[in-house]
Amino acid sequence: MIDDFSENGLLATAIDGFVAREPQRRMANKVTEAINAQHSLVVEAGTGTGKTFAYLVPALRSDKKVILSTGSKNLQEQLFSKDLPIIKKALNYTGKISLLKGRANYLCLERLYHQYAGAGDLDKDLRVDLVRVKNWSIKTKDGDISKCTTVTEDNPVWSILTSTNDNCLGSDCEHYNDCYVVKARKRALNADVVVVNHHLFLADVVVKDTGFGELIPKADVMIFDEAHQLPDLACHYFGQQLTSRQLFDLAKEINLAYRTEVKDMAQLQQCADKLQKCTQDLRLVINQHSPKGNLRYLFNQEAVKNELSYLVDALNFCHEVLLLAVGRSSTLDNCFERINQYHTLLNRLQQTNITGFSYWYESTNNYFIFALTPLSVADKFTQLIAERDGSWIFTSATLSVDNRLDYFTKRLGLDNAESLILESPFDYANQTIMCVPRYIPSPNEQGNAQKLIDILLPVIEANQGRCFFLCTSYAMMNALAKQFRELTTLPVLVQGETSKVKLLEQFIHKGNALLIATSSFWEGIDVRGDTLSCVIIDKLPFTSPDDPLIKARMEDCQMQGGDAFNEVQLPEAVITLKQGVGRLIRHHNDRGAIIICDNRLVMRAYGATFINSLPPSPRTRDINKVINFLLAKS
């Protein structure tokens, strides 16, 4: 391994601009040991360590079957299309590498033919897009919808042309042998390295993909990048959810089967219409309450209780009608199973007295979600690792809290895992300055957006934009955006006004923009060079104690005699803040300022936990020193 990562090693010879880094070599050696010894390893690798190559080289050198799981589809694509080809070429690796996405990323031929047969009920735009997809389906080899150039990936037509675990007919489908999901799985089975994402990995573990068995093949080495996302994602996947979309989709499927396959059963349309109406009525009633909250409270509201009973009646009616059609249509047989499944799930969701779970809901004008989420997945994950022999490696730039990894390892039950914290090789002492400005308003003070702008506008204008303003709420984001646009001639870009990708393109292209954003811009964004030289954070990112899952975890912690603030709220906020701060320095030539607009960082005892967890930047409270730093030549 030393040869690969040294100044004169294989990577330096094969890759232009490769810089030998001691933390990268240390990580690669640890990953190699973990693979050889078949044990678990947790590594926090600070930004700039080069962690991707540090796990890819040992993985490809091992000659074992490897699963690589990343935090998102974008990172998955980057790993498959950019990073792996570089290492494959450098090592002269001859094994097969495969990309495997979730089934929602592949065209479903069964649904395409079904929708084509009943297209008369679709609106004009969807019919036009349906024809475009049909034409593309003749040419595509892998059915990956991101490669369809005539219909964008976010087009609503894909929701009716891709399958879910619920509506997939599995081996009963007449298109099974041509199925793109089956073909993708076969490629993965035959590959030596398979690139997936956490959502797909967890969905596969939990659901076991009825009809196909497991979608992801068994492997000797499992590597999770951006592993800090895993505990929360695992909680959701090991829980259960019933959504309005599932119910609407079920009604549509029954209706479509009536119009295309079982045309002599008019009752099919009647029961489908009743199910659709009851789901719609329930959604309207839920919308009169908070957009998210506790399911126990919601299910005790009289109007909600009534609508729920009507929904149960509608499911019972569907059950009776479809019982008469069993065996006449694979689609209706599948619908029949789903009716029973949703009925059971609705009963389980109403049993809100069972402990160990958070019961919560979310709703908008378009959908609702009822969910129960386990408060701990440590036992489940321990069992999963025990069932699948091999090496389990977890890495991210943000796993530790106050230089300890136990918050992460406890949540996944990784008590026996080896651990390693590698500091970033970047020179934060000279490359950065961190400021908690004097005279900033307290976080929830009335009119604090205007007060923050008064303090920060001189910095942003002196820096000629080139700034991310990361907010902890949409309300603050929108208030800041409105006022900044009135007060500065710099381009002000706001999350939600166009897609995330286009927003980043505009930010880089303009070169002097202020980008105001919330949640999704705190991580996974990589802007290098002078284009981004200032990151401002409106306040410490504590999750609201009213958030149902956090509230339930806090209550559970207290019941076990723990300190809910220090053991739940604080670690979550520290990891989120580390992600936000990490947007600034992405390269050893980058330089810039971090401004955190929250006095609690310096006034409260717990502020030390945040500061000890952040990169070692010089600190000031003087905004003028920040301006001087930004204007000084590096």
Q: What is the CATH number of the domain that holds 10?
A: 3.40.50.300
Q: Is the same domain home to 454 and 418? A: no
Structure confidence by residue, pLDDT tens digits, 134-157: 999 999 999 999 889 898 888 888
Question: Please, how many CA atoms are within 13 Å of residue 500, restricted to the half-sphere of its CB?
Answer: 12
pLDDT tens for 88-110 read 999 999 999 999 988 889 999 98
Considering the domain boundaries, does residue 54 fall inside one? yes
Q: Are residues 596 and 534 in the same domain?
A: yes
Residue 311: HSE in the Cβ half-sphere, 13 Å Cα cutoff:
26
Question: What confidence score (pLDDT) does residue 345 get?
Answer: 94
The answer to whether residue 483 scores a pLDDT higher than 50 is yes
Residue showing tokens 């945040």 = 610
Of 488, 487, 518, the residue nearest 503 (C-alpha): 518
Query: Domain for residue 243, yes or no?
Result: no
Whether pLDDT at 180 is above 80: yes
Strands 97-99 and 240-243: unpaired
Task: Quote the pLDDT of residue 208.
Answer: 53
Cβ contacts of residue 263 below 8 Å, gap of 6+? none
242 located within any domain: no
Amino acid, res. 124: K
326 occurs within a structural domain: yes
* C-beta of residue 131 within 8 angstroms of C-beta of residue 201: no
CA atoms within 13 A on the CB side of 173: 25
The two beta strands, 467-470 and 357-363, are unpaired
pLDDT tier, 210 (very low <50, low <70, confident <90, very high otherwise): very low
* Average pLDDT over the chain, rounded to an integer: 90
Whether 159 and 218 map to the same domain: the answer is no
Nearest to 618 by CA among 382, 450, 434: 434
**3-state helix vs strand vs coil in the chain, percent to 5:** 50, 15, 35
Residue 209 pLDDT more than 60? Answer: no
Are both 412 and 444 inside the same structural domain? Answer: no
Q: Are residues 16 and 141 in the same domain?
A: no
Separation between Cα atoms, residue 570 and residue 607, nearest integer Å: 10
Q: Which residue has the tokens 């601009």?
A: 17
591 and 497, same domain (yes or no) = yes
Note the helical H segments in 511-606. Answer: 548-559, 564, 570-581, 600-603
Do residues 52 and 83 touch, judged by C-beta distance below 8 A? yes
pLDDT-derived band at 120 (thresholds 50, 70, 90) equals low
pLDDT tens digits, 530-553: 899 999 999 999 988 777 788 888
Distances in Å between the Cα of 16 and the Cα atoms of 10, 84, 98, 141 are 11, 15, 26, 34
Q: Are 468 and 534 within 8 A, CB to CB?
A: yes
Q: Which of 422, 443, 458 is the last residue of a domain?
A: 422
Q: Which tens digits make up the pLDDT trace of 368-423?
A: 999 999 988 999 999 889 888 899 999 999 999 999 999 999 999 998 899 999 99
Summarised one tens digit per residue, pLDDT across range 226-269 is 999 999 999 988 889 999 999 999 999 999 899 888 899 999 99
Q: Which domain holds residue 454?
A: 428-631
Q: Could you tell me if residue 84 is inside a domain?
A: yes
Please give the structure tokens belonging to residue 393.
């490696």
Of 164, 182, 200, the residue at which a domain comes to its end is: 182
How many domains is the chain partitioned into structurally? 4
Confirm if 358 and 238 have CB atoms less than 8 A apart: no
Question: HEC states along 138-180?
Answer: HHCCCCEHHHCCCCCCCCCCHHHHCCCCCCCCHHHCCCHHHCH
* Digit-coded pLDDT (tens) for 300-357: 999 999 999 999 999 999 999 999 998 898 889 999 999 999 999 999 999 988 888 8
Residues 492 and 575 in one domain: yes
439 and 385 in a single domain? The answer is no
Q: Which two tokens stand for residue 138?
A: 């003749």
Residue 267: is it exposed, middle or buried by C-beta count within 10 angstroms (0-12/13-18/19+)?
middle
Residue 211 has pLDDT above 50, yes or no: no
How does residue 207 score in pLDDT terms, banded at 50, 70 and 90? Answer: low
Q: Among residues of the chain, what percentage have pLDDT more than 90?
A: 65
Which pLDDT does position 1 carry in this prediction? 47
Structure-derived torsion over alpha carbons of residues 385, 386, 392, 398, reported in degrees to the nearest 10: 50
Q: How confident is the model at residue 273, as a pLDDT?
A: 96
Selection from 625, 548, 4, 9 nearest residue 289 by Cα: 548
CA neighbor of 57 nearest in space, from 17, 98, 103, 11? 11
Confidence of residue 212 (pLDDT cuts 50, 70, 90): very low
- Mark whether 369 and 444 lie in a shared domain: no
Q: Sorting pLDDT into bands at 50, 70 and 90, what band is 634?
A: very low
What's the chain's length in residues? 634
Contacts 24+ apart (CB under 8 A), 630-634: 630/459, 630/462, 630/463, 630/533, 630/534, 630/592, 630/593, 631/462, 634/431, 634/591
**Are 58 and 207 found together in one domain?**
yes
8 Å CB contact between 476 and 449: yes
Q: Are residues 120 and 268 in the same domain?
A: no
Domain match, 498 and 605 both? yes
Provide the β-strand partners of residue 534: 467, 593
Query: How much is the pLDDT for 66?
Result: 96
Domain membership flag for residue 187: no
**Widest pairwise Cα distance in the chain:** 80
pLDDT value of residue 114: 82
Q: 625 falls in which pLDDT band (50, 70, 90)?
A: very high
51 inside domain = yes
CA distance linking residue 180 with residue 189, whole number of Å:
14
161 CB-near residues (< 8 Å, 6+ apart):
107, 108, 111, 112, 115, 130, 133
599 domain-assigned:
yes
